[in-house]
């Protein structure tokens, strides 16, 4: 029995216990590398279906029994954001025996990949700031990679991220990698240019956005559907108040406070509520049209007010300029008669010298003309200034130049009242200026406000000084040439060469003003009148009156004064042109004007702030034609210095009259 029991136990050990022990020992014992390799090979023997592999973003199944080194892919933080730039079929990573680099394929079609073998991206790099062309970190891949072609990639911020590089020994693959690099680099450069263009936003971009938001908010506040919502109405009014306070007087984004963006976003959120609340587009369009019409009406009214106030300011004599002639007149009559005479009076009729004609009642303006001319003259002793003024300013004008003589130049001051030949029987313009219709035209307020062109109502047109330029031969009977200068000009260069210019038989030498359409004949003359339409060209170039060289010999020969008188008789009812001196000048000197080089005379400093700096610096004479005279507070600030540098504001008379720059 004992023997039988031993046999049974032995069989049990052999059949049951031994297999368990042996299997447990195989799993728990550390196998040598050769055994482990067999286990791995057993694993690779398992087959995966296509359905299973489609869910795995891993390596493709090896078909051979030899284990290939797996491709090591290093994902960076940018992969999730850059993935939008890659082809949607980017799923598989293929290992190639002749490549030492790790390349991501951009297609799921393995046959197409093997045929074309495109290289779209080299991964494994670590972005280093904003640098381009960085190398692969050795710690990330376990080896050094020598760059052959770096590929730049976009990140979310629109900047170029550092890419990795590829190294290969296969010429075909190297060429493909280089081509891929070129394409991606080209794409990156285009994106960079686009971003650069987008960055060039206007300096008032946010200011305009805030203003647009205010308009939208006001439209919503006027809609019945919004008015019926008290909560939304209160919120909109609050946002309007905040945005209005934020805007203030800001004209560009840099003027806005720091919380401008927050208030802009808050307003945008409230406007979205308003858009959701209203669904009647017709009501919005109607309201916008009403707002547009109302704004246009307000703009029209403001323009008329601005024009009227500007004309009023231009007509008004500043207190300082009113004080100055009073102060000078008092001083003049306190002088002895022997002290009231100018030196060098023998030069005033010498035709060999350079003579200037200035007709003005503005002492300070006349001073600037004389001082600037003398300061820039090569030989001041050869220049003679003939100043003609009215009776009211005659003593003051003489006193000023007696106290402030123009260096070596000669000065003559005349009173227009002494020209006995200039009367209404001789001059038709004098007869017109004294007529009742002319007085009504200027001084009847109800008619003045109804005129659309207020500039023609400036009282300077009533002054005979303004029309004296048409009587130069009568004023200077012994002179051959005279340079006429307005009192609102500044001389910047020597003008001596003007007397040597050959006018080719013409009477007037002037700079043409063809650059702008409103300087042509049709803007000054009434071409609906048959007399004007018959004799003149509406597109003919006008010319500048303010710096003109006149040949008095030709003037007398061609009887220019008679031509002027004939046209003044024809215009007694002001149907040919409005008041002023340029329209009759264009008519009188029609086809008798020689065009001077434009560098002699630049205009517009009294109305046009866009006159070029280069044009001003190159010009011999700058002209403040327009209402914004340099001695008025409404003058254009950037042009004022050309005039003020010829005024001595430390002079005792100017200080006593509180005349400051």
- Predicted local distance difference test score (pLDDT) of residue 140: 40
- The C-alpha atoms of residue 191 and residue 198 are separated, in whole angstroms, by 10
Q: Is the pLDDT of residue 19 over 80?
A: no
Q: Is the pLDDT of residue 70 over 80?
A: no
Where does the pLDDT of residue 660 fall: very low under 50, low under 70, confident under 90, or very high at 90 and above? confident
- The C-alpha atoms of residue 408 and residue 170 are separated, in whole angstroms, by 92
Instruction: Say if CB 153 and CB 184 are below 8 A apart.
Output: yes
- The C-alpha atoms of residue 18 and residue 7 are separated, in whole angstroms, by 15
Q: Is the pLDDT of residue 106 over 70?
A: no
Q: Report the range of poorest mean pLDDT among 334-348, 394-408, 428-442.
A: 428-442
Which of 216-220, 285-289, 428-432, 632-636 shows the highest mean pLDDT?
632-636
End-to-end CA distance of the chain: 141
Phi, psi for residue 550 in degrees, rounded to 5: -110, 130
- Predicted local distance difference test score (pLDDT) of residue 439: 67
C-alpha atoms less than 13 angstroms from C-alpha of 627 in its C-beta half-sphere: 18
Over range 198-222, report the average pLDDT: 83
- The C-alpha atoms of residue 215 and residue 204 are separated, in whole angstroms, by 17
Rg (CA), the chain: 46
Instruction: List the 410-415 sheet strands across, edge first.
Output: 410-415, 383-389, 354-359, 481-485, 547-551, 508-510, 593-595
Instruction: Say if CB 537 and CB 473 are below 8 A apart.
Output: no
Q: Is the pLDDT of residue 184 over 60?
A: no
Place of tokens 């790790």: 102
- The C-alpha atoms of residue 194 and residue 509 are separated, in whole angstroms, by 54
- The C-alpha atoms of residue 430 and residue 427 are separated, in whole angstroms, by 5
Phi, psi for residue 412 in degrees, rounded to 5: -135, 130
Residues 6+ apart with CB under 8 A from 28: none
Where does the pLDDT of residue 192 fall: very low under 50, low under 70, confident under 90, or very high at 90 and above? low
Instruction: Say if CB 565 and CB 424 are below 8 A apart.
Output: no
Burial of 442 (0-12, 13-18, 19+ CB in 10 A): middle
Over range 321-330, report the average pLDDT: 93
Q: Is the pLDDT of residue 350 over 70?
A: yes
Instruction: Say if CB 419 and CB 389 are below 8 A apart.
Output: no
DSSP single-letter state for residue 348? T
Find the DSSP H helices in 74-229: 79-82, 110-116, 138-141, 171-199, 205-221, 224-227
Place of tokens 């010319």: 543
Q: Is the pLDDT of residue 167 over 90?
A: no
Residues 6+ apart with CB under 8 A from 556: 473
Over range 278-290, report the average pLDDT: 78
Place of tokens 């149907």: 575
Instruction: Say if CB 563 and CB 585 are below 8 A apart.
Output: no
Where does the pLDDT of residue 24 fall: very low under 50, low under 70, confident under 90, or very high at 90 and above? low
pLDDT tens digits, residue range 541-585?
Answer: 889 899 999 999 999 999 999 999 999 999 888 789 877 788 999
- Predicted local distance difference test score (pLDDT) of residue 202: 83
- The C-alpha atoms of residue 188 and residue 121 are separated, in whole angstroms, by 13
Classify the C-alpha dihedral 200-206-207-210 as positive or negative: positive
Three-state secondary-structure class, residue 360: coil
What percentage of residues in the chain have a pLDDT greater than 70?
67
- The C-alpha atoms of residue 597 and residue 619 are separated, in whole angstroms, by 10
Three-state secondary-structure class, residue 296: helix
Instruction: Say if CB 342 and CB 412 are below 8 A apart.
Output: yes
Q: Report the range of poorest mean pLDDT among 165-179, 194-208, 251-265, 300-314.
A: 165-179
List the structure tokens of 328. Answer: 């000078």
Q: Strand locations in 120-167, DSSP E?
A: 121-122, 153-154, 160-161
Q: Report the range of poorest mean pLDDT among 41-50, 183-192, 280-289, 524-533.
A: 41-50
- Predicted local distance difference test score (pLDDT) of residue 505: 95
- Predicted local distance difference test score (pLDDT) of residue 459: 59
Phi, psi for residue 92 in degrees, rounded to 5: -110, 150
Taking phi over 0 as left and psi of -120 to 50 as alpha, with beta for the rest, 315 belongs to alpha
Supply angle C-alpha 192, 196, 197, rounded to 5: 120
Q: Is the pLDDT of residue 238 over 60?
A: yes
Where does the pLDDT of residue 55 fall: very low under 50, low under 70, confident under 90, or very high at 90 and above? very low
Element (H, E) at 39: helix 33-44
- Predicted local distance difference test score (pLDDT) of residue 460: 63
pTM of the model: 0.60
Element (H, E) at 485: strand 481-485
> Which CA distances in Å does 541 have to 422, 489, 626?
31, 22, 19
Instruction: Say if CB 424 and CB 499 are below 8 A apart.
Output: no
List the structure tokens of 112. Answer: 């197409």
- The C-alpha atoms of residue 156 and residue 269 are separated, in whole angstroms, by 25
Domains contained in the chain, CATH given: 204-313 (no CATH), 319-657 (3.90.550.10)
Phi, psi for residue 593 in degrees, rounded to 5: -115, 130
What percentage of residues in the chain have a pLDDT greater than 90?
37
Q: Is the pLDDT of residue 17 over 70?
A: no
Torsion of CA 650, 652, 654, 658, to 10 degrees: 90
- The C-alpha atoms of residue 490 and residue 619 are separated, in whole angstroms, by 10
Q: Report the range of poorest mean pLDDT among 18-27, 39-48, 531-540.
A: 39-48
Instruction: Say if CB 133 and CB 163 are below 8 A apart.
Output: yes
- Residue 366: name the closest of 382, 385, 383, 379 by CA: 385
Higher pLDDT, residue 656 or 579: 656
Where does the pLDDT of residue 286 fall: very low under 50, low under 70, confident under 90, or very high at 90 and above? confident
Instruction: Say if CB 608 and CB 626 are below 8 A apart.
Output: yes
Q: Is the pLDDT of residue 651 over 90?
A: yes
Beta pairing, strands 354-359 & 383-389: parallel
Classify the C-alpha dihedral 147-149-154-157 as positive or negative: positive
Over range 410-433, report the average pLDDT: 90
């Amino acid at each position: 029995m004992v023997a039988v029991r031993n046999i049974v136990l032995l069989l049990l050990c052999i059949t049951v216990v031994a297999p368990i022990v042996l299997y447990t020992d195989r799993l728990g014992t550390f196998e040598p590398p050769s055994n482990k390799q067999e286990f791995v090979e057993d694993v690779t023997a398992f087959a995966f279906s296509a359905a299973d592999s489609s869910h795995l973003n891993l390596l493709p199944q090896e078909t051979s029994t030899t284990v290939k080194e797996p491709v090591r892919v290093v994902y960076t933080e940018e992969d999730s954001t850059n993935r939008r730039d890659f082809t949607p079929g980017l799923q598989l990573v293929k290992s190639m025996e002749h490549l030492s680099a790790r390349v991501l394929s951009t297609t799921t079609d393995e046959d197409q990949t093997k045929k074309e073998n495109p290289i779209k991206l080299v991964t494994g790099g670590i972005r280093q700031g904003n640098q381009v062309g960085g190398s692969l970190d050795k710690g990330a891949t376990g080896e050094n990679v020598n760059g052959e072609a770096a590929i730049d990639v976009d990140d979310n911020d629109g900047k170029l991220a550092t890419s990795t590089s590829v190294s290969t020994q296969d010429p075909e693959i190297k060429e493909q990698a280089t081509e891929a690099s070129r394409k991606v680099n080209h794409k990156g450069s285009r994106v960079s240019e686009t971003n650069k263009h987008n960055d060039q936003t206007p300096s008032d971009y946010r200011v305009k956005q805030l203003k647009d938001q205010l308009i939208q908010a006001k439209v919503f506040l006027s809609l019945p559907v919004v008015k019926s919502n008290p909560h939304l109405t209160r919120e909109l009014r609050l946002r309007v108040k905040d945005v209005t306070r934020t805007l203030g007087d800001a004209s560009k984004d840099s003027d806005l406070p720091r919380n401008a963006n927050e208030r802009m976003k808050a307003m945008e959120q409230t406007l979205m509520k308003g858009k959701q609340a209203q669904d009647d587009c017709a009501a919005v369009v109607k309201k916008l049209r009403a707002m547009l019409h109302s704004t246009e009406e307000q703009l029209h009214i403001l323009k008329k007010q601005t024009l009227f106030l500007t004309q009023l300011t231009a007509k008004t004599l500043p207190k300082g300029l009113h004080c100055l002639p009073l102060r000078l007149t008092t001083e003049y009559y306190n002088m002895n008669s022997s002290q009231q005479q100018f030196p060098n009076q023998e030069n005033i009729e010498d035709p060999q010298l350079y003579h200037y004609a200035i007709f003005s009642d503005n002492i300070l303006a006349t001073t600037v003309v004389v001082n600037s001319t003398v300061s820039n003259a090569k030989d001041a002793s050869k220049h003679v200034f003939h100043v003609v003024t009215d009776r009211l300013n005659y003593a003051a004008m003489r006193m000023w130049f007696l106290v402030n003589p123009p260096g070596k130049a000669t000065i003559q001051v005349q009173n227009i009242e002494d020209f006995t030949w200039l009367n209404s029987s001789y001059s038709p313009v004098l007869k017109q200026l004294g007529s009742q219709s002319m007085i009504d035209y200027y001084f009847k307020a109800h008619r003045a406000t109804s005129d659309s062109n207020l500039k023609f109502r400036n009282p300077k047109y009533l002054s005979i000084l303004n029309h004296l330029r048409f009587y130069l031969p009568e004023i200077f009977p012994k002179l051959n040439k005279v340079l006429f200068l307005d009192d609102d000009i500044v001389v910047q260069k020597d003008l001596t060469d003007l007397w040597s210019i050959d006018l080719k038989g013409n009477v007037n030498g002037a700079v043409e003003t063809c650059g702008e359409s409103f300087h042509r004949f049709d803007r000054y003359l009434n071409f609906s009148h048959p007399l004007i339409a018959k004799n003149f060209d509406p597109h003919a170039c006008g010319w500048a009156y303010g710096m003109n060289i006149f040949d008095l010999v030709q003037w007398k020969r061609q009887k220019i004064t008679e031509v002027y008188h004939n046209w003044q008789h024809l215009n007694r009812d002001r149907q040919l042109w409005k008041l002023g001196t340029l329209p009759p000048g264009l008519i009188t000197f029609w086809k008798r004007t020689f065009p001077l080089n434009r560098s002699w005379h630049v205009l517009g400093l009294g109305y046009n702030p866009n006159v070029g700096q280069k044009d001003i610096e190159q010009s011999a004479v700058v002209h403040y034609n327009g209402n914004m005279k340099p001695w008025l507070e409404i003058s254009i600030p950037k042009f004022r210095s050309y005039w003020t540098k010829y005024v001595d504001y430390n002079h005792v008379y100017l200080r006593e009259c509180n005349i400051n720059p």
